[in-house]
Every structure is written in structure tokens, then in C-alpha cells.
Structure 1
């Protein structure tokens, strides 16, 4: 009899617990999902130089200058501002930058873009951007790709301790060297 009551009690607790777990509501999927890019790009290589975590907005028929306006500070992606981590001291463009995590902002223009590393952390958008928190500003070369990218993307390429970070959206390509 005791075993039967114990079994019923355990069954009831398990049933209640599983009901609570399945009743959890999850928000719908973000339309600008987070992504990460790192160098070296091979996932098997743990000794990274740099890693960027960012969200990937989509053009969806809109123009790039509507989503990343010329002459204005942009969060470099969607939602939270992009974060870049250097695992070693680096040259970012022509600026010395200490190992650490920074927020990555950009200022798009018709010519070269300004790429900004900021000490601000956990920033949503660029609404509260503060120039006083800048660690480095570099001018990044802009080129045009032959294919249009629907989703904003960041990739790295390079050799050894010399990488190139490429930002791409639409046909616009922005490149910044990163050297360890």
C-alpha cells in the first residue's frame, strides 16, 4: 500500500512538473537573427584573434541608406549594437587596440566609412552612442560587390596574424585590416 501511494505521489509530481515546462511560452523567432564571425575562420582553431557578434538585418526591398543612413552613427547590424572581441592586442586599421571587448559602430558615407570601437557595453541600437567612449576610429575602404547580399554580413579572411574584416550589405563592401 505504501509503495502504491509513493508511486502515485511521484507520478503526480512528475506530471505537474512536465506540465509547467511545456506551458512555457517562447517569443517568436527574431527576424534579424544574431550571428558571429571570427578569425581564424576554422571552427577547429580555438586560438582566435578576433570575434564579432552581431544581428543580421535584411534589406527586404529597402535601400541601404534608409537602414544605415549616410553620415549618422549606425549600430552595425540590427537590435543590439555589434560587439567585437580582440583576444590579443591588435592593430585595427591604423590604430593600436588592447585586447578586450568593444562595441562596433560605423558611420556610412558615399566614400569611405568610419568604423568606431567604443567602450560602451550592452548597447541597444546607437541611440545612446557617446563619442567620449570611443577607443578608436578608422577609415575603412568601401568597394562594390558584383552580387547583392540580402542580409547584412560580416566575414574575415587572411593569413596568420593578418586578417581583413569585411562588412557586406546590398552591393556595398567595407573592409578593415586587423593585425595581431
Structure 2
């Protein structure tokens, strides 16, 4: 009887471990997920804002092709970017309650519209619903002499707050944040 139980247990373990070795894992994402926060230290209790976003690359394509002028863009790649404010802030002139929001943008020739939307877990901007907008702000479209191959977001400390700076190719867009 003990031999039958031992044999059955052995077969079950072999079957289970065989299933584990057959697991398929995906390769690296072509537009990897990244995160930026302010302040940049690792103490979560000191955080004011954090954004999680996908980082598409130009790969010999134009910014206008990947983020068309006048159209709602997911602000990155894959899922819509999500921004978390750990305290109430003023985001580009609008008072925003602490919480997590989807971040969309509408690129423009002279200015970009930056949108905070309450609907989370959205793939791209395919299901973007304007009725979920919490804030829409307009910020000037700036430029830089150096080109960025990968879409990037960083926070720049300024007096009384920070700017969330988005950059891709030679385009730079900064949103002031105060608290």
C-alpha cells in the first residue's frame, strides 16, 4: 500500500514539474514600461507624484506619425499612462484631488492639451471617454536641440513645486505642479 501511495505521489510530482517546465514566457516588450516620480528618492511617504507609462521609440518614424497632431494620444505606448498624486495638487492651474488618473494628451503645433481622466486600466486611447475627464489643461509645445529616441517623462524641481516634462524627438512639454 505504501508503495502504491509513493508511486502515485511520484507520478503527481513529475506531472506537475513537467507542466512547469513547459511554461512559455514572453520576450522583452518593444516599448518597455517605466516610472518617474517626484521626489525621486525611494521613500514612498515623501512622494508627491508618480507616473507609470510605456516608452515607445521613434525607430525611423516621425513623432507626428506616432502621436498625431489634434488626436487623443495615450501618452506613451501600450496601456494609457497612469499618474498618481499622493496629496492634493495644482496640476497646470487645476486643483486635483489625491488619487490615480489616466493621462492622455492631444499633441498640437503650438500647444498640447494634457488630460487627466478618472477611467483607469485603459488599453491605449481606443476606449478613451471624454466624460471621465477630471481636467484638461493646455501647455506650450517647446523644443530642444537634442533628440530623444525614446518617449520620456521626468520631473524637474522648480520653486514651489515641480514640472512634469515629457520629451520625444525634439519636442518638450512641461506641466507645472504645485502643492
Shared fold (TM-score greater than 0.5)?
yes
User: How many Å separate the matches in 2 of 1:94 and 1:78?
Assistant: 27
Number of residue pairs matched by the alignment = 179
* 2:53 paired residue number: 54
Q: CA RMSD in A?
A: 2.0
CA distance in 1, matches of 2:168, 2:91: 21
Q: Is the 8 A contact 1:157 1:165 kept in 2?
A: yes
The answer for the alignment partner of 1:99 in structure 2 is 98
**Distance of 2:127 and 2:9 partners within structure 1:** 53
| TM-score between the two structures when normalised by the length of structure 1 | 0.90
The structural deviation recorded for 1:44 is 4.0
Distance apart, 1:8 and its partner CA: 5.4
CA contact (8 A) 2:57 2:149 kept: yes
CA distance in structure 2 between the aligned counterparts of 1:170 and 1:156, rounded to whole angstroms: 18
Instruction: Tell me what 1:40 maps to.
Output: 39
SS at match of 1:32: coil
Q: Name 2:140's counterpart in structure 1.
A: 141
TM-score when scaled to structure 2? 0.90
Instruction: Point out where structure 2 has 5 or more consecutive residues left out of the alignment.
Output: none
Give 3-state SS (helix, strand or coil) of 2:46's partner: coil
User: Which moved further from structure 2: 14-23 or 169-178?
Assistant: 14-23
* Residues 108, 141 of structure 2: 8 Å contact kept: no
Post-superposition offset of 1:157: 2.1
Query: Counterpart of 1:150?
Result: 149
Give ranges in structure 1 of 5+ residues lacking alignment: none
Q: Distance in 2 between matches of 1:118 and 1:14?
A: 48
Distance in 1 (alpha carbons) for counterparts of 2:119 and 2:159: 30
